[in-house]
Amino acid sequence: MKPLLLHPINWKDYSLVDSGDGKKLERFGNFLFSRPEPQALWSPKLPFKEWEKSSGTFLSSSNPLNEDATGKWSLKKDLPPKWEMQYDNIKFFATPTSFRHLGFFPDQSPHWVWASKKIQSFIKIQDKNYSPKILNLFGYSGLASLHAAYHGASVTHVDASKKAIKLAFENRNLSSFQHLPIKFITDDALKFVNREVRRHNKYDAIILDPPKYGRGPNGEKWELHKHLPVLLKLIPQILTPKPIFIILNSYAIRSSHLALHFALNEIMREFSGKVESGELSVVEDQKNPRQINTAIFARWEQQRT
């Protein structure tokens, strides 16, 4: 059970430029941003004058090395509220948020590529006229949904945040993907899945990226350690007899990937497939690059004969 270590590749609009002294310097399109990074225990390679070119710096309200610390952005006046970016054939907006990030997670792109290959292989082997049904829970700004739909899937995208769904709509329209089969739903993930169980609705694949804490549209509470096990136990009930894949990603659990590996392995034990797990990371765009872990994941795929 060798862990995988995945990082973004083939990005033109994103790069990790430098890191050190508890910070990382990243390029999003034409703009540089400095954000806290507790894992950057080393010294920056680039001179300070390069870091001063940042269009935005995230200022934590408490200990900047605390990943749960709140704060705000210090932004230059010439920075637009949002700007267009692209990966593969999807277009989307980048915008600084109060959660430190910029409205999407480039480190998740290896999952998008992996899922698209599974989708296309399924269509080629099983039925060229069938669009596999994908459920994207905690879908946020929609990049995983857009990428899956572009490569042939029919996607149900669920997020509890109206703002996230609005951004997902904007990204869909920016990509001119209005014709693709994507259904956007504002709902609490656990309530939605419980209803799908009662409706006997089935999916060929599921993507999950649950937060540590959250609120549903009607004030429902989400606590990962309390509610994720409940949600995972429901997942087999909404899967087709021969599902394609499941991706379980977490920024919330700062521990071993083994936690997700064995949780996913348990719920999928009745299906013929395998689980692999590991870490997502970002890699500096320079000589002798250093690497920063961003998340842990586990993903299951069907063993096809």
Q: What's the pLDDT tens digit per position in 35-51?
A: 999 999 999 999 999 99
What pLDDT score was predicted for residue 60? 84
Phi, psi angle pair for 93, to nearest 5°: -100, 140
Counted domains in the chain: 2
What pLDDT score was predicted for residue 216? 84
Domain that includes residue 175, residue range = 108-302
pLDDT (mean) for 122-146: 93
Residue 103 lies in a domain: no
What pLDDT score was predicted for residue 18? 98
The CATH number covering residue 225 comes to 3.40.50.150
The residue to which tokens 């069907």 are assigned:
302
Kindly state whether residues 170 and 252 are assigned to the same domain: yes
Kindly state whether residues 155 and 122 are assigned to the same domain: yes
Angle, vertex CA 13, rays to CA 184 and CA 21, nearest 5? 105
Phi, psi angle pair for 85, to nearest 5°: -135, 170
Kindly state whether residues 57 and 126 are assigned to the same domain: no
Which two structure tokens, joined as six digits, stand for 260?
């997700």
Weakest mean pLDDT among 46-55, 237-246, 247-256, 291-300: 247-256
Residue 38 lies in a domain: yes
Kindly state whether residues 226 and 84 are assigned to the same domain: no
Closest CA to 277 of 259, 303, 253: 259
Kindly state whether residues 176 and 287 are assigned to the same domain: yes
Residue 101 lies in a domain: no
Residue 237 lies in a domain: yes
Kindly state whether residues 152 and 211 are assigned to the same domain: yes
What pLDDT score was predicted for residue 67? 58
Closest CA to 116 of 144, 91, 79: 144
Kindly state whether residues 131 and 238 are assigned to the same domain: yes
What pLDDT score was predicted for residue 127? 73
pLDDT (mean) for 174-201: 97
Q: Which of 67, 94, 121 is the last residue of a domain?
A: 94
Kindly state whether residues 62 and 126 are assigned to the same domain: no
Inform me whether the pLDDT recorded for 305 exceeds 60. Answer: no
Q: Which of 28, 59, 94 is the last residue of a domain?
A: 94
pLDDT (mean) for 63-87: 84
Q: 154 with 181: CB under 8 angstroms?
A: yes
Greater model confidence, 157 or 213: 157
Q: pTM for this structure?
A: 0.94
Residue 100 lies in a domain: no
Closest CA to 65 of 28, 2, 125, 21: 21
What pLDDT score was predicted for residue 102? 96
What pLDDT score was predicted for residue 64? 57
Question: For residue 66, what pLDDT band results from cuts at 50, 70 and 90?
Answer: low
Kindly state whether residues 29 and 72 are assigned to the same domain: yes
Kindly state whether residues 170 and 142 are assigned to the same domain: yes
Closest CA to 192 of 182, 201, 205: 201
The CATH number covering residue 15 comes to 2.60.40.1180
pLDDT (mean) for 67-76: 81
Phi, psi angle pair for 174, to nearest 5°: -60, -35
Kindly state whether residues 90 and 123 are assigned to the same domain: no
CA distance 189 to 143: 18
**Positive or negative torsion for Cα 32, 51, 79, 68:** positive
Q: Which of 47, 71, 94 is the last residue of a domain?
A: 94
What pLDDT score was predicted for residue 254? 67
Question: For residue 2, what pLDDT band results from cuts at 50, 70 and 90?
Answer: confident
Residue 102 lies in a domain: no
What pLDDT score was predicted for residue 152? 96
Q: 158 with 139: CB under 8 angstroms?
A: yes
